[in-house]
Structure 1
Amino acid sequence: MITITLRYPSDEPGAPEDRLPKTMAIGYFDGVHPGHQAVIRKAVELARSAGKQASVMTFDPHPRAFFGHGEAYAASLTPLPEKIRLLGELGVDIVYVAVFDHEFSSLEPETFVRELLIERLNVSDAVVGFDFTFGRGGAGNPAVLAELGAPDLAVHTVEPVAAAGAKVSSSRIREALELGDVALAAGLLRRPYRISGAVVHGAARGRTIGFPTANIEPDGRYVLPRLGVYAVNVRRGDASYPAVMNVGVAPTFYGTGGTPKLEAHLLDFSGDLYGERLDVDFVAFIRPELRFDGVAELIAQIREDAEQARRLLAFVRQ
């Protein structure tokens, strides 16, 4: 799979792949959840049956973040590198990352379809979700896409995927994480919610109280779950370790301000992890982050949290 940055307008010659006949799934695809996967798999299926390239067009940054619709959209369920990795697992050949800036956001629907999709990228089949919008002011929808593309561009609209009594959406997953309901988020994603990053040096307080932690600096701006303590699986290469993770500001030591940190205590591991990259899969919420009156009370609670995490993770693995 290759990744191509797409700008509009551009005086640079297009990539050789631009001229290849292709199908294209179009969307932001934050989380690459089952609804997104249905769109992408349809594009891959059409491409394979016709002997064409399977492509995806996604955007960076999130259009809502670009238009200033809330700081929340500056963070992602799947930052761009993770999104690209997941797209590759779905069999995509080419990922176009469209730079969503003033020029791109101002494209008229007809220009987007005719000049960009058909003439520049040689797209014969576009696959979109039922609620897809495009063009300046979001004026385009699947019906407009089909009208503007005919007869050169066939449009395939994919219906929503449901879970827990409603359609799966990135917004529902974000809401579940805000509540700390990582089990619901996993059910909607059909995989655990994951945050990846490198282990960096921290204050080493965990080591001094008998619970050394890996302080993880995320690879990108992830949506963080509610501040609190979680049972997680930490993946290090091919190995997986049960762990208890605190997402928070360590109020016992630092008060209630500050930037949340990710600190994982691996239950069956001893050694040096500094500089290594870890994947953290959130399994269950244990409790909210609390401020304790002293270190002894904190140690007792961490011990209890670790045992609860071990029980929860053992149950999930059965």
Structure 2
Amino acid sequence: MKYFYSFPEIPLVEQSVITIGMFDGVHLGHAKVLSECVHIAKQKGICSIVISFSNHPASYFNQKYDSKNSLLSPDKEKIQWIESLGIDYLFMIPFDHYMAHLPAESFMEDILRAKFGISDLVLGYDNRFGYQRKGSVEFVNEHYANQINAYSIDVAKLDDEIISSSVIKEYIIQGNIKKANTMLGRNYSLKGKVIHGNHKGRELGFPTANIELEDADKLIPGLGVYVSYLKIDGKCIGGVTNIGKRPTLTNDTYVSIESHLFDFQEDIYEKEVELELLEKIRDEKKFNSLPELIEQISQDVNWARTQLTKIHIAT
């Protein structure tokens, strides 16, 4: 897949199947849309194109919008997941004044037709484009009948609940990682670098890998203790992860991400890692004493080992 950050960079595209959207998380609902785009393009022997945005539209309309810890998949991850679905071209354009006020008619004529030779448009059930969200499947069918085929992809559901980025974010904030993972179609993960901490975990008998996120826009799950995997140098290591402020040990105001890895002793400082979260064990809490904290960590570790064993047996 080739990706670009502005339309002037584009190569010559004579004919294409296009979809448009933010696609934050590239979850199972998005996958339905993207896969249909790829399917139609392969049937016709033409290219598939995704037009997305390098900043959330909310950041343009709401001046107080703060992107920190707000996205399921920052740019690097979104590119990775969209590519995995077989898309040919991805455009990550800025959602700015021009895009916000571009009429649907101009979007169709000046961009989709003039630059990409669009033959088919695939949109999610609630997707719109152009100024005041005027562009839709109905709009295309009315103005471009017999010229462009437009398809609306049905909503994806899980247990009668619509799969959407906002719903998944809420589950992650609540700590319901299992439900979020099911809707994503993969384990929610945090990417970053292993850094030095204060070594409190080692003093307690449970050394941890402290992870600094590579992208500040990545959504951090609700505070608590999680069953996890750490991917590093091609290895996948089971463990238990604490996301929180460590109230028993410190007066930190920032959220740290620390993973105790099972049966692993290697030096991994400064290594790039990916932390997959599987299930929340409990909320973070302040304990009355260090022995009480150590006892709880021991219980967390035993629970996580049991859950990981079940997963290995199941797979």
Q: Which of 200, 209, 214 does residue 209 from structure 2 map onto?
A: 214
Taking the aligned partners of 1:300 and 1:74, their CA distance within structure 2 comes to: 32
* Cα offset, 1:219, TM superposition: 2.2
Q: Which of 39, 44, 57 does residue 38 from structure 2 map onto?
A: 44
Query: Secondary structure of 2:5's partner?
Result: strand
- List, as ranges, runs of 4+ consecutive aligned residues in structure 1 with deviation greater than 6 Å: none
Cα 1:217–1:73 shift into 2, 3 Å: closer
Equivalence for 1:63: 57
* Cα offset, 1:25, TM superposition: 1.8
Structure 1 residue 241 corresponds to structure 2 residue 237: yes
Structure 1 residue 167 corresponds to structure 2 residue 186: no
Equivalence for 2:283: 288
* Cα offset, 1:151, TM superposition: 4.4
C-alpha offsets along residues 178-229 of structure 1, whole Å, 9 cap, x if unaligned? 2111111112112211111111222222222221111112222211111000
Q: Which of 131, 138, 143 does residue 126 from structure 2 map onto?
A: 131
Equivalence for 1:182: 177
Cα 1:196–1:71 shift into 2, 3 Å: same
C-alpha offsets along residues 217-255 of structure 1, whole Å, 9 cap, x if unaligned? 222221111100000111123311111001111112333
Between 1:89-98 and 1:206-215, the stretch displaced more is 206-215
Structure 2: which amino acid aligns with 1:124? S
Query: Secondary structure of 2:80's partner?
Result: helix
Q: How does 1:106-145 map to 2 (within 5 A)?
A: 106-145=101-140
Cα 1:74–1:98 shift into 2, 3 Å: farther
Task: Give yes or no for contact 1:235–1:280 (8 Å, CA) kept in 2.
Answer: yes
C-alpha offsets along residues 65-86 of structure 1, whole Å, 9 cap, x if unaligned? 3322854786211111111101
* Cα offset, 1:150, TM superposition: 4.2
Equivalence for 1:35: 29
Task: Give yes or no for contact 2:224–2:283 (8 Å, CA) kept in 1.
Answer: yes
Taking the aligned partners of 1:5 and 1:27, their CA distance within structure 2 comes to: 15
Task: Give yes or no for contact 1:26–1:57 (8 Å, CA) kept in 2.
Answer: yes
Taking the aligned partners of 1:30 and 1:14, their CA distance within structure 2 comes to: 23
Taking the aligned partners of 1:123 and 1:175, their CA distance within structure 2 comes to: 36
Taking the aligned partners of 1:74 and 1:272, their CA distance within structure 2 comes to: 28
* Cα offset, 1:296, TM superposition: 2.6
Taking the aligned partners of 1:73 and 1:134, their CA distance within structure 2 comes to: 25
Taking the aligned partners of 1:21 and 1:94, their CA distance within structure 2 comes to: 12
Structure 2: which amino acid aligns with 1:42? E
C-alpha offsets along residues 151-193 of structure 1, whole Å, 9 cap, x if unaligned? 4432111111111212211111111112111111112112211
Structure 1 residue 21 corresponds to structure 2 residue 9: no
Cα 1:194–1:260 shift into 2, 3 Å: same
Q: How does 1:257-296 map to 2 (within 5 A)?
A: 258-296=253-291
Gaps of 5+ in 1: 8-12
Equivalence for 1:3: 3
Query: Secondary structure of 1:120's partner?
Result: coil
Taking the aligned partners of 1:119 and 1:192, their CA distance within structure 2 comes to: 40
Aligned length: 311
* Cα offset, 1:149, TM superposition: 4.1
Structure 2: which amino acid aligns with 1:61? N
Taking the aligned partners of 1:261 and 1:128, their CA distance within structure 2 comes to: 39
Equivalence for 2:222: 226
Equivalence for 1:10: none
* Cα offset, 1:146, TM superposition: 3.4
Task: Give yes or no for contact 1:110–1:148 (8 Å, CA) kept in 2.
Answer: no
TM, length-normalised to structure 2: 0.93
Query: Secondary structure of 2:292's partner?
Result: helix
Query: Percent same amino acid among aligned pairs?
Result: 32
Taking the aligned partners of 1:119 and 1:162, their CA distance within structure 2 comes to: 36
Structure 2: which amino acid aligns with 1:250? R
Task: Give yes or no for contact 1:65–1:73 (8 Å, CA) kept in 2.
Answer: no
Query: Secondary structure of 2:227's partner?
Result: strand
Taking the aligned partners of 1:72 and 1:178, their CA distance within structure 2 comes to: 15
TM, length-normalised to structure 1: 0.92
Q: CA RMSD in A?
A: 1.9
Structure 1: which amino acid aligns with 2:57? P
